[in-house]
Amino acid sequence: MIATELQTYLKSHYPKENESCEWKEFKNLKHSISGAKGEDLATYVSAIANMNGGHIVIGVKDGTLDIVGIGNFHDYTPETLPHRLLGVCPNLSSEGLSVEALTTTDTQQTVWIIHIPKHLPRKPVYAHNKAWQRSGDSLIELRPEREASILGEPLGKVEDWSAHICEGATLDNLDPEAIRLARAEYITKHPNLSEEVAQWDDRTFLNKAKLTLDSKITNSTLLLLGKSDVVHLLSPAVPRITWVLKDRDGIEQGYEHFGLPLLVSAQKVHAKIRNYKYRYMADSKLFPDEIDKYDPWIIYEALHNCIAHQDYEMGGRINVVEFPDKLVFSNVGSFIPENVENVIERDAPPELYRNPFLCQAMVEINMIDTIGSGIKRIYSKLRQRFFPMPNYKIEPTRVEVTIFGQILDERYAKLLAMNPELSLHDVIVLDRVVKHLPSTDESLKYLRDKGLIEGRKPNYHLSSQVAKQTDQKDEYIKMRGIDDDYCQKVILDYLQIYKKGKKSDFEKVLLDKLPSILDDQQKKNKIKNNLQTLRLGGKIVNEGKEWKMSKS
């Protein structure tokens, strides 16, 4: 069609910009796909997908439908662009995602129309680690009410990648050592069936253990038991666990990759971890002399959770990074229960799993807990050791958990040892206070009312009652610092002697006396606030940049 015909076509089918349609020029496609957050193509795709889907017309002037054509393709084609968008827009559905190319015969100008599907049920589409939506002519972060609407949608029938049949795969593609190990773990899980299991052939065992589906090899079968040379059958999945050793400065000291079968690889990764003895330096009456740095069960639970909940269709790998004092486990995919607190408080199996067939098989061969209480048990075991609680970092497409192998705060450890009646909820919130991590106002008020913490948001610390109980009075005074009355007295004494002073003068006198829990900016803000309190009280006045005593 000629240019005027294309113009008419666009005005007929995409007559105005709204929440389902956008017109963009994008002169340089290479830098426009995933470039400036809130302005690039990925952000618009997220915003449109998070409503009801729609279209983006590229190659027209912004705000108009005047055809200017796509400038620099940079090797992108209508066939490759969807793949690029899927890579930068987590949760974007490939079904219905396409690019329609229209070129005028007279001016040789090309316009692309990107057709964007609606988000999948309960899966907001992200760009730059945020979910977006349209608000008039602007793009904004997804509003809470819209996010709640998406997350509350009925799921309908959801495909389980882990249950897919691997066409052409046979028992010969399975690793004999992995099958032997699976049998042993199955007997551990079902000790009353030990004699029967010994009589089963491999085909019968795999069906009974729910590792195969009607004797057919599934993705789960290959993930857990497959030989290393059949990894191509699972493409685009990259079933690999990478162990990395780093020093205290984060400098890599060594690494190793472990592929199929993951059941065996998990044991090999566990063997790589340097689980030395940890010697307690605190009061021997409260603490044992020494224990392993990491409870072996916790290592396996964290690693097996990564295997069970990995989003294999994203093509990522599982990482285990070992530092001298901690282990960091990570896998790709969203955290379906939304937050860890929900899992711990409910103490019940989640309604949804990413890989239901895989999870069921892992339960049968004793890799994960059938009642979904593994995370809570990790917290409980760490509490029994008086160690810090795990740190969870939950991103839209990645979950990371850090397990500590030593005491970070002796006051906190003594508090746990001396107060076994504390609930797990109390311990978790106290752990966050000690680490200076955010907690809900309700949780903080609860601890403050119990006399366990004091201070002002966000600078809470263990209370004087706790400091006395754990014999840490000196440290408590250091954390608490001087109060406002004393701070104001120092300011007034200074002005009585020197008659005038700048804010910088008061900072020199007071900064090293303020609570160590405050950073430099917070200390300066405290001084500024006390100066204003004295001014409002009529005790001092400000003349330019100097403060003086009030004449009244």
What's the pTM?
A: 0.62
**Structure token digits, residue 283:** 């009061």
Does residue 17 sit in the same domain as residue 93?
A: yes
Domain assignment present for 267:
no
Name the domain count of the chain. 4
Does residue 131 sit in the same domain as residue 53?
A: yes
Choosing from 176, 206, 234, the residue where a domain stops is 234
CATH code for the domain of 40: 3.30.950
Domain assignment present for 341:
no
| Domain interval for residue 475 | 410-480
The pLDDT value given to residue 242? 97
Residue 219 has pLDDT above 90, yes or no: yes
Choosing from 480, 509, 533, the residue where a domain stops is 480
Give the tens place of pLDDT for each residue, 99-126. Answer: 998 999 998 889 999 999 999 888 899 9
Where is average pLDDT lowest: 29-33, 223-227, 241-245, 532-536?
29-33
Does residue 174 sit in the same domain as residue 144?
A: no
Alpha-carbon distance values, 499 to 2, 532, 533, 547 (Å): 84, 18, 19, 9
E strand or H helix that includes residue 536: helix 520-536
Domain assignment present for 329:
no
The residue behind tokens 């689980």 is 275
Per-residue b/e over 417-435, b at no fewer than 16 CB within 10 Å? eeeeeeeeebbbbbbbbbe
Which is it for strands 241-246 and 318-322: parallel, antiparallel or unpaired? parallel
Domain assignment present for 282:
no
Domain assignment present for 340:
no
Does residue 468 sit in the same domain as residue 490?
A: no
Q: How far apart are CA 27 and CA 111, in angstroms?
A: 12
The pLDDT value given to residue 552? 64
Does residue 463 sit in the same domain as residue 495?
A: no
Determine the average pLDDT of the residues in 49-56: 91
Neighbouring C-beta atoms of residue 42, cutoff 10 Å: 24
pLDDT range class, residue 157, cuts 50, 70, 90: low
Does residue 468 sit in the same domain as residue 528?
A: no
Does residue 434 sit in the same domain as residue 490?
A: no
The pLDDT value given to residue 541? 92
Alpha-carbon distance values, 352 to 208, 212, 310, 348, 357 (Å): 23, 21, 14, 12, 12
**Structure token digits, residue 350:** 């989640």
DSSP H helix total and E strand total for the chain: 22, 22
Choosing from 190, 217, 234, the residue where a domain stops is 234
Domain assignment present for 525:
yes
**80 in Cβ contact with 121 (< 8 Å):** no
Does residue 16 sit in the same domain as residue 131?
A: yes
Peptide bond into 458 cis (omega under 30): yes
Of all residues in the chain, what percent are helix, strand and coil, respectively (each to 5)? Answer: 40, 20, 40
Candidates 309, 379, 367, 307; CA nearest to 340 is 379
Domain assignment present for 131:
yes
Does residue 20 sit in the same domain as residue 98?
A: yes
Q: How far apart are CA 546 and CA 544, in angstroms?
A: 6
Does residue 105 sit in the same domain as residue 210?
A: no
pLDDT range class, residue 183, cuts 50, 70, 90: very high
**Structure token digits, residue 314:** 């994203």
Does residue 461 sit in the same domain as residue 539?
A: no
Q: Which amino acid is at 159?
A: E
CATH code for the domain of 528: 1.10.10
Does residue 27 sit in the same domain as residue 103?
A: yes
pLDDT range class, residue 477, cuts 50, 70, 90: very low
- Look up residue 142 and give its DSSP letter: P
Domain assignment present for 265:
no
